Amino acid sequence: MKALRWSSGLIAATALLAGCGGGAKGCSGVTLETEQNEMFGRIDATITNKTNEPKLVTVAIVSDGERGKENTMRVDAKDVAETSVGNMTKSVRERTSLELVQCE
């Protein structure tokens, strides 16, 4: 059974998520899945590391085509990490996404 670790902390108060980045540097075997939580006005993100080694994963908030704040977190081998970006209105969430930037 995989351990589930929460990386709480709101990355930004004015961003939202929609998808994940394509060819992020060193992110083979790492996936980013997002889901909008309309009840709490946030985007929930799940980062899965399917490789046999731990990764430092950097996720960026992209809004209106501009890259904003970035958050780096450790995701252990064959493990899952979760985080949220919150306090967004629906219109802001619809213009914002989370993307994998790099994995080391």
What is the span of the domain harbouring residue 81? Answer: 4-103
Cα–Cα distances in angstroms (integers) from residue 44 to residues 40, 50, 51, in the given order: 10, 19, 22
Instruction: Of 29-33, 51-55, 87-91, give the lowest mean pLDDT range.
Output: 87-91
pLDDT of residue 87: 87
Number of compact structural domains in the chain: 1
Query: Mean pLDDT, to the nearest integer, of 25-36?
Result: 94
The model's pTM is 0.74
Look up the CATH number of the domain holding residue 13.
Answer: 2.60.40
Cα–Cα distances in angstroms (integers) from residue 46 to residues 56, 59, 66, in the given order: 14, 11, 22
pLDDT of residue 7: 38
